[in-house]
Chain A
């Protein structure tokens, strides 16, 4: 009896401790990936500098920076997860030494809002490839709108800016849409998500029964 009341309480509150820690741990994994991709961005950008195409470099890797939110939402399937996970990943990325400092956290929050909006479009009922891609596209658009404000994109010629936006959306669909979805699928197949909403209807491979 007492058990059921505890369970219903935790459901009402939304997240259990293990959900929060799951988001945090995903945040740590992806913060490390984000930092590696930042290095990749710098390398690419430095290589493109002499051609004046350096501002494109960031767009190629940009899609990587939305991955935490979408993957966490895929696993936990609760409203608010995408935003929170992306936000936590940004905080941890700041801890790991991204040069943006507190600004990274602000950007993470905005990107997370984009991630979240993508799943909200489907009313948190679908978490398949279309929803993942929608989440990716909206995260890209949200982040781009922010940059119009902070990065003074308007100083570049309009064609260049449109090309940047297109490239960013393509990158988001590739990384946050497709790669995250594949990762999520692979996780479900291993059976570790059995106790999470994502793994509910999964049939773990026989080889893992040990």
Chain B
């Protein structure tokens, strides 16, 4: 999975998720989750990372299951199916299973894709303007600095005897002030190095989609569609 072009992977996963949302088939969600987990594991992603990624979705899915169980509407989709006798169990499984399937698809993309590669690939293949591509990469690169600044502001608050929790709105404005200053500084730095839209850019690494990439773009959505039609 790691070698597939990020742009193709992104749209393959996204379209699959949208196709999945059409169907009301509880089993399908779990098949998709299993397929995604298998594909991610085969890309040599450690099981620990996968479980950590799926943990929040698992907790949410449990909550949704009970919500649907308690406040189920009278519409029962797929009531003809014999597998689940209780409509409320069925609705609950449907809501929570879908969330888990979406999380599986998200995991398949997120844990096997390098972020900067993804942006560069979008830039080269979808002609996303360089201004945006490099702007995002630059902003993304600021993240560790922001985290540091946030810690610093908290320390400054403490030094003045003001209390500020881990997440405090009072810390937001100082961080935003710094962010505005930094964004100006980055823009000036980039422009002073000759960054502009006018000249055609050359690329150290060229991203192109081959047959494998196109296959990943088209096969998973079709597979989900076919499975949905067959099971539903």
Contact = CB atoms under 8 A, between A and B. Distances in A.
Given A29-B176, A187-B180, A156 B169 contact: no
Contacts of A23: 135
Given A55-B71, A105-B14, A152 B98 contact: yes
Contacts of A18: 183-184, 187-188
B153 interface: no
Given A28-B143, A57-B63, A103-B17, A192 B136 contact: no
A202 to B, nearest CB: 13
B37 interface: no
Contacts, number: 203
Interface string A21-35: 111111111001100
**Contact count band on A:** 35 or more
Interface residues of B, number: 72
Interface of B: 10-11, 13-14, 17-18, 21, 24, 53-54, 56-57, 59-60, 62-64, 66-75, 77, 91, 94-95, 98, 102-103, 105-110, 115, 131-132, 135-136, 138-140, 142-143, 146-147, 167, 169, 172-173, 175-177, 179-184, 186-188, 190-191, 195, 197
Interface of A: 13, 15-18, 20-29, 32-33, 36, 38-39, 41-42, 45-46, 48-57, 71, 75, 88, 91-92, 94-106, 149-152, 154-158, 160, 179, 183, 186-187, 190, 192-193, 195
5 contacts: A24-B136, A99-B54, A152-B94, A157-B74, A160-B71
